[in-house]
Amino acid sequence: MRKKLAIIGNGMATGRLLDELIRRDALSQFEITVFGEEAHGCYNRILLNRVLLGGAVDDITLKTAAWYAENGIKLRTGAVVNRLSHAAHRLWTADGQEHYFDTAVFATGSIPRLPPIEGVKTPDGKWKDGVAVYRTAADCERMRSFAKSGRPAVVVGGGLLGLEAAKGLADLGMSVTLLHLFDTLMNRQVDKIGAVMLRRAIERLGITVRTGANTKAVLGAKRAEAVLLGGDERVSADLVVFASGVKPRIDLAQQSDVPTNAGILVDDRLQTVLPGLYAVGECAEHNRQTYGTVQPVYEQCTVLADVLTGANPNARYRGSKVYTRLKVVGIEVASMGDIDAKDADDEVVQVIEEKRGVYRKLIIRNDRLAGAVLVGDASAAAGLARRFERGDSLPANRLDLFASTDRAAEPVGGAVCNCHQVNEPTILSAVRSGCRTLQDLAARTGAGTGCGGCRGQLASLLLKAGKQPATVSN
């Protein structure tokens, strides 16, 4: 008799977890049911800007409804789990249906963090017309419904998502003002010098940037008309988008007496303190750390699949090294680890090319890469990320690290596309069996269709094999 495994949430963590479970023949042990609040099969949230620009959710879907059925997995879409009892081994969806489970996994992701701002919602608790957040496909459709070419928009938040939202709205023809509370853009990933270069690049796109801007209220009785800043300044806006960070979605865990802090607390096996209850992805907090990018989420999924199936009973999650890359077309930014020196002995290497708008910085500790910031030219990012991940010792001439000929940083049969776990042998085998372009590789292996950070490397593998790469559009 198969045990019942319930997965709550159907986002990117669940999509990857299902792949990992199937790879380990989990369906011979478990009857799997996925409860997803959203209306779709799992989609690639990283590519949501395509929906903002008018694409269909189908274009970024990772798993169609048919996929779940074909793989013997029960999918409940539009199903919010609003109650769970560990003692009774049961959960309930908002429509009142009860479901038994032996094992349950929270994969509830994150929700947008909203600063304390007045006038965002109507008295009945709904979003005011012209106000939106940037997290789901429905959010993008909402943004699009209020976006009118030539009209003013405000994006609140100058981090990764804020920059992406601002560029998307500018591409839709809106006149965009980006408001950021802190003094520099992407202040968590980019140091002060890099942020100056980044700001210039964003302004070149026609986006107005206001840093140190304290947004106090959205003005407009029925719909957004303007944003009120500290000092009582008004910035006109038909559309106000909040992209000011995320926080783990822990409401269900809290109501179900599952211990939480910022996220749902898990151990190295991704298990909560309650046996048989696990958490994975952005909702999970491991070792006082929560994550907001997909690579750590995928690393957790591998461990959890090993643990749940018993494929590797010793599998343990030890935390992830974080690597961030901005996907705004025309602006290259990559960041990993520390962005400023921390220890007195830290070595800092900085190369500033004012005219080209290029800035590259390395933080080196004990001859290992402790962090890097690249703005304007991120061609060295993949190699640096690998050295950062592996903890390699570094060449004596540190500038060699920026060269495309940095052979030591090339993968040794390791993952090229981290988003889809595609390694170099798989790419080369796809090339041998006829793939000629980046599109071919994407269709055959999925490589390059996640964050896109590996496309340069895929292109060099094609070139190495004597093929002419063609670009995959963003």
State the nearest-atom distance from the C-beta of 113 to ligand FAD, in Å: 12
Binding flag, residue 162, ligand FAD (CB under 6 A): no
Binding flag, residue 386, ligand FAD (CB under 6 A): no
Identity of residue 89: H
Of 86, 99, 249, 286, which one interacts with ligand FAD (CB under 6 A)?
A: 249
State the nearest-atom distance from the C-beta of 278 to ligand FAD, in Å: 13
State the nearest-atom distance from the C-beta of 474 to ligand FAD, in Å: 11
Of 20, 38, 285, 389, which one interacts with ligand FAD (CB under 6 A)?
A: 38
Of 45, 89, 247, 444, which one interacts with ligand FAD (CB under 6 A)?
A: 45
From CA 17, how far away is CA 304, in angstroms rounded? 8
From CA 416, how far away is CA 49, in angstroms rounded? 24
Q: Considering beta carbons, is residue 10 or 426 the nearer one to ligand FAD?
A: 10
From CA 469, how far away is CA 439, in angstroms rounded? 9
Residues contacting 233, CB < 8 A, separation 6+: none
Binding flag, residue 108, ligand FAD (CB under 6 A): yes
User: Number of residues in contact with ligand FAD, rule: CB under 6 A?
Assistant: 34
Query: Between residue 134 and residue 153, which ones bind ligand FAD under the rule CB under 6 A?
Result: 134-135
From CA 49, how far away is CA 144, in angstroms rounded? 11
From CA 130, how far away is CA 241, in angstroms rounded? 8
Q: Considering beta carbons, is residue 136 or 309 the nearer one to ligand FAD?
A: 136
Q: Considering beta carbons, is residue 309 or 449 the nearer one to ligand FAD?
A: 449
Max CA distance (Å), the chain: 68
Q: Considering beta carbons, is residue 164 or 191 the nearer one to ligand FAD?
A: 164
The DSSP bridge partners found for residue 417 are 422
Binding flag, residue 13, ligand FAD (CB under 6 A): yes
What are phi and psi for residue 287, nearest 5 degrees?
Answer: 55, 45
Identity of residue 431: V
From CA 194, how far away is CA 359, in angstroms rounded? 6
Of 252, 370, 415, 430, which one interacts with ligand FAD (CB under 6 A)?
A: 252
Using CB under 6 A as the criterion, what x/- string covers residues 425-464 for binding ligand FAD? Answer: --------------------------x-------------
Structure tokens at 152: 């003013």
Identity of residue 219: L
From CA 468, how far away is CA 462, in angstroms rounded? 7
How far lies 113's CA from each of 95, 97, 122, 135, 142, in Å? 27, 30, 18, 11, 18
Using CB under 6 A as the criterion, what x/- string covers residues 80-99 for binding ligand FAD? Answer: xx------------------
Which residues form the interface with ligand FAD (CB under 6 A)?
A: 8-14, 35-38, 45-46, 48, 80-81, 107-110, 134-135, 161, 249, 252, 281-282, 292-295, 297, 327, 451
